[in-house]
Amino acid sequence: MVEKLALGAMLFGTVTDERRSFEILDRFVDAGGVWIDTANCYSFWEDASGFGGQSEALLGRWLASRPGVRDRVRISTKVGCEPTEAGRFPETAEGLSAGVVKKGIEGSLRRLGTDHVELYWAHKPDPVTPLEETVAAFDELVSAGAVGRLGCSNYPVWQVERARQIARDRGGVGFTAVQQHHTYLRPRPGTQPTVVHRFGAVSDEVIHYLEHHPDMALWAYTPLLSGRYTRADKPLAAEYDHAGTTDRLAVLDEIADETGANRNQVVLAWLTGGSPAATPIVGVSTVGQLDDALAGAALDLTDEQRRRLDAAA
């Protein structure tokens, strides 16, 4: 079902122009889509200014031009990665101090044209700010009604648990979601997936933690490897050049043939129906790509098909 997906708005307002972005957003909502994922830093690397905010601003214009649609969608946005100096990322990333978190939500709400967001993420760990300060700042936003739930992205498991313990000790609200890179293929051991933060890739430890903490949700970014499952013009990165990839793609193709689906759709079905289930964030640039993803969310795999996918090397 489409509720299992989140629409990634990262490139809306930069690479994807306003007309096409609005078309995709309209189609997503018309199909029953709910979650839209963005960040205050999207997409600083694509804008001449060197700073982000374009995605949130576009979403704000879309919401303003569609009376009543705000009640039908849930907004997920992030703080922590916006550069403070153009052209100097990650060394000048804003971090997660109390002041930055407060200023971050104020800016996001202003650009979005709303008084709250349903899910607010710490975009990546801040090596300087004490975790206690960050946790307290996020908790204040929930108490103030500006934020519904809290999540953390690209965090090591130990820091997720420590932050949650700090929140429990304070009697506050802690993280209830993690956002990591998660997909069907696995990189060669000892390598880092391309364009993924240091602790950004889902590991067996992350899965084990989530299995034992059912209050925690898993969101998966770049689940389709930016088109590399299906597009001949976008080959897989070097870290996927190993025998395990060959085996996994072979099973993926078998299941695709059996279901009448394509690789992308089977990957999305595998993610949304897994244990723990994931919410894939799909970044698309056309309505056709969105429809393809929606079909993947609606695809049901049999237990036997899922076992074969899981068992592939």
CB atoms within 10 A of CB 214: 8
User: Given CA atoms 178, 181, 186, 192 in this order, what sign does their dihedral have?
Assistant: negative
d(C-alpha 146, C-alpha 117), whole Å: 6
**Identity at 15, one-letter amino acid code:** V
Q: Are 239 and 192 in contact (CB under 8 A)?
A: yes
What is the enclosing helix (H) or strand (E) of 201? none
- Beta strands at 74-79 and 117-122: parallel, antiparallel or unpaired: parallel
Quote the CA–CA distance of 186 and 240 in Å, as a whole number.
Answer: 7
- With b for 16 or more beta-carbon neighbours within 10 A and e for fewer, the 158-176 pattern comes to eebeebbebbeeeebbbbb
Written as six digits, the tokens of 258 are 């059996």
Q: Is 42 a catalytic residue?
A: yes
Task: Find all residues with CB under 8 Å of 18, minimum gap 6, and list them.
Answer: 58, 61
Number of CB atoms found within 10 A of residue 51's CB: 16
Q: Which residues are designated catalytic?
A: 42
